Chains A and B, each alone.
Chain A
Amino acid sequence: MGVIDISGVYKAYLNRKGNKAQIVLKDVNLTIEENEFLCIIGPSGCGKTTLLNLIAGFEKPQRGEIKYRGKPITGPSSELAVVFQEYSLLPWMDLQKNVEFSLDRKKYSQKERGEIAKKYIDLVGLGGFADQRPNLLSGGMKQRVAIARTLAMQPNVLLMDEPFSSLDEQTRNRLDKEILEIWNKEKRTVIFITHNIDEALLFGTRMIMLSSSPGRVAGEWRIPEGPRDLLSEEMIALKKDILSKLQTCSCTTRTSSIIKIGE
């Protein structure tokens, strides 16, 4: 039994007219182990975010089951916390309050919440901005707050949905380093969605590729642990292998994945 067990999961969405359903995930089976840093790559629209939403408990699969430590996931919880792809801060709260917001009020006192929030804002390097409100910050800073907020919840499993996709290259590289440092400091299970192969190679202990329409596990690689050099021969070979596989997973919608619901 892993931390998360996904077995035979199907997920389909209705189109706008409501007469067809597109199968987004088809028979996905996956087990995620303790302290694993799992990177999920794949073309856009292949169901990466859907898979993450299912694991986080925001949505339910039509068939199959997702278990967290042996128990089926019934809804969102602070055990499985997400860093969202889009900006998700509340504009009327300063950074400190935004981070405090995600902390359980039954578990921590107001004072404790303040201290935890402060610690994680410092961790992502925004200590000087704690009393600023999100709309005055740059995109990179907002995403760092979102990371701080999720880390502060001390989730058992950290789910990250392309957290840096809206950021520029430099900011992204810096945040990549920060994530790596944080993971080294506080080991935990992470599921990280990206379409940047370098990013995946930099963090991951394992990498899976979802094929598109319908999404299913199309490839899997183990990445040697420890500090890595993306320019080493081993890594370059690995990247070549992944890239060639990615090309065969074309992005065209196969008609077989569409269910007709009636005219």
Chain B
Amino acid sequence: MSSLFRSANDKIEELLDTAKNNEIDIGSRKKHSITRTILIFIMGILFVIAIWWLIAEIYNIYFVVSLQFPTPKSVFTQLWSYLSGQNFLRVSIYQHIEASLFRWIKGFAIACMIGLVIGLILASNNSVYEFGIVPVNVLQMIPGLAWLPVTILLFGFGESAAVFIIAIAVISPIAISVATGIRKVPTVNIRVARMSGRSHFEIMTEVLIPFAAIDILNGLRIGMANAWRMLIAAEMVVGVAVGLGFAISQTTSTLDYVSSFVCIVVICAIGLIIDKIFFENIERYMRRKLGFEEAS
């Protein structure tokens, strides 16, 4: 346990006297750090579950009126039986997950394209930015579900409405981070490209976007998380017949809180997997690829 939280500096300090030719052999650092990362992550998850369990037990012992607070044990048992094929609101849990994932991908993809274009336009010059950031900020200030009346007017109820709510809530963070990232590119690098006769398009694709890649990726990451949260909220209100958000609102109204919690657990797990495994690795890869890691 104590070795898990030890920093690299502590290790170096301990091994200082073993130095040969001014070099200290740290051992297989890479392998060690991956297991360390995973172990710390699992401990974090276990901590959350422990807190949940504590609250559930206290509630169930001292405050319970009629319904039990779902405990981790009951929720994970229920999750297991859904995963092994038990019917969940007329379909399997996999179909709920699939429906939600597809909506999320659609909404997120649309928002990415629009957000990227808006971001690039905003970054194109100072006056455009000063003017254009205003509507983007306005957009950002509107909570996703406040779009409900507009959504119903434009799309009615159902699939497209859910996708619209996701997209509209995600466009602005992406646009803002793309624009900020590109505006941070050093003037001198743009000047080199202009002097070398590169066209505006070439400067954009070969200098601006690579330079801003990490900022853009962070925007996508925030957008992804926003989209995922919006998806669940949207499904709860715009009347779709399948999906995790729909399942939460249904099970809540039938007082099947254990199943609601199952949905929450699944939602968290998917979100974490996408963020930790997908985005974190892309970011690490890009940092290496773009040579930013080498600067210190």
Binding site for B on A (CB under 8 A): 56, 58, 75-78, 80-82, 84, 86-88, 90-93, 101-104, 133-136, 149, 153
A84 touches B295 (CB 8 A): no
In the complex, whether B294 has a CB less than 8 A from a CB of chain A is yes
Contacts of A93 in B (CB 8 A): 291
Q: Is B191 a contact of A77 with CB atoms below 8 Å? A: no
Task: Verify B289–A101 contact, CB threshold 8 A.
Answer: no
* Smallest beta-carbon distance A227→chain B, Å: 32
| Given A88-B189, A92-B210, A82-B292 contact (CB < 8 Å) | no
Main secondary structure on A side of the interface with B? loop
One of A84, A91, A136, A149 near B188 (C-beta < 8 A): A84
Would you call B135 an interface residue if the criterion is a C-beta within 8 Å of the partner chain's C-beta atoms?
A: no
Q: How far is the CA of A82 from the CA of B191 in the complex (A)?
A: 9
CA distance A226 to B197 in the complex (A): 35
Name the residue on A nearest B292 (C-beta): A91
Given A88-B188, A90-B189, A90-B207, A78 and B196 touching (CB < 8 A)? Answer: yes
Q: Which residues of A contact B188 (CB under 8 A)?
A: 84, 86-88
- B192 and A84 contact, CB distance less than 8 A: yes
Given contact pairs A77-B197, A84-B191, a sample of 10 additional A-B residue pairs in the complex whose CB atoms are under 8 Å apart: A75-B194, A76-B194, A77-B195, A78-B196, A86-B186, A88-B186, A92-B289, A102-B192, A104-B196, A133-B291
A136 x B195 contact (CB < 8 A): no
**Residues on the B chain within 8 Å of A102, using CB:** 192, 195-196
CB–CB B195/A81 < 8 A: yes
Question: Taking CB as reference atom, which chain A residue is nearest B207?
Answer: A90
B210/A78 in contact, CB under 8 A: no
**In the assembled complex, B290 has its CB within 8 A of some CB on chain A:** yes
- 5 A-B pairs within 8 Å (CB atoms) are namely A76-B195, A84-B192, A86-B188, A88-B189, A135-B294
* Contact status A135-B189, CB under 8 Å: no
- Binary per-residue interface labels of chain B (189-223) against chain A in the complex, 1 for a CB within 8 Å, 0 otherwise: 10111111100000000110011000000000000
Nearest chain A residue, comparing its CB with the CB of B196: A102
A91 touches B291 (CB 8 A): yes
In the bound complex, do residue A92 and residue B291 qualify as a contact, i.e. CB atoms below 8 Å apart? yes
Given the contacts A76-B191, A88-B189, A90-B189, A134 and B291 also touching, CB distance less than 8 Å: yes
Please report B residues at the A interface, Cβ cutoff 8 Å: 186, 188-189, 191-197, 206-207, 210-211, 289-292, 294-295
Would you call A91 and B192 a contact (CB within 8 A)?
A: no
A103 to B290: give the CA distance in the assembly, Å. 21
B290 x A91 contact (CB < 8 A): yes
Least Cβ–Cβ distance between A31 and chain B, in angstroms: 23
Enumerate chain A residues within 8 angstroms of B206, measured Cβ to Cβ.
101
Q: Would B196 and A135 count as touching, CB distance under 8 A?
A: no
Whether A104 and B197, one on each chain, are in contact in the complex, defined by CB atoms closer than 8 angstroms, is yes
CA distance in complex: A80, B194 (Å): 11
Which chain B residues border A81 with CB–CB below 8 Å? 195
Contact A92 B290 (CB under 8 A): yes
A102 to B202, CA, bound (A): 12
Contact call B290/A78, Cβ cutoff below 8 A: no
Instruction: Quote the shortest CB–CB distance from A153 to chain B (angstroms).
Output: 7
Least CB distance, A15 to chain B, in whole angstroms: 17
Complex contacts, B186 vs chain A, CB 8 Å: 86, 88
Complex CA distance for A191 and B295, rounded to whole angstroms? 31
How far, in Å, is B241 (CB) from chain A's closest CB? 48
Determine the distance from Cα of A58 to Cα of B189 in the docked complex, in whole angstroms. Answer: 12
Please give the distance in Å from A50's CB to the nearest CB on chain B: 14
- Please give, as numbers and ranges, the residues of chain A lying within 8 Å of B193 by CB-CB distance: 101
CA distance A56 to B191 in the complex (A): 10
Residue of chain B at shortest CB distance from A75: B194
Neighbouring A residues of B196 by C-beta, 8 Å? 78, 101-104, 153
Contacts of B189 in A (CB 8 A): 88, 90
CB atoms of B294 and A136 under 8 A apart: yes
Question: What residues of A have a CB within 8 angstroms of the CB of B294 in the complex?
Answer: 91, 133, 135-136
Distance to closest chain B CB from A91 (angstroms): 4
Which residues does chain B contribute within 8 Å of A92, judged by CB atoms?
A: 210, 289-292
- Return the chain A residue nearest B210 by Cβ: A92
Give complex CA distance A133, B189 in Å: 16
For B294, the closest partner residue in chain A by CB is A135
Q: How far is the CB of A86 from chain B (nearest CB, A)?
A: 5
Q: Which residues of A contact B192 (CB under 8 A)?
A: 84, 88, 101-102, 149
A110 → B minimal CB distance (Å): 15
- Residues of chain B with a CB closer than 8 A to A103's CB: 196
* Chain B residue with the shortest CB-CB distance to A135: B294
Q: In the complex, A102→B189 CA distance in Å? A: 11
**Residue of chain B at shortest CB distance from A82:** B195
Q: Which of A82, A87, A88 has the most CB of B within 10 A?
A: A88
| Residues of chain A contacted by B211 (CB below 8 angstroms) | 90
A76 partner residues in chain B, CB cutoff 8 A: 191, 194-195
- Inter-chain CA distance A135–B292, complex, in Å, is 8
Q: Which residues of A contact B191 (CB under 8 A)?
A: 56, 58, 76, 82, 84, 88
Q: Is B194 within 8 A of A90, CB to CB?
A: no
Q: Judging by beta carbons under 8 Å apart, are B197 and A78 in contact?
A: yes
Task: Give the Cβ gap from B244 to chain A, nearest Cβ, in Å.
Answer: 39
The answer on a CB contact under 8 Å between B195 and A78 is yes
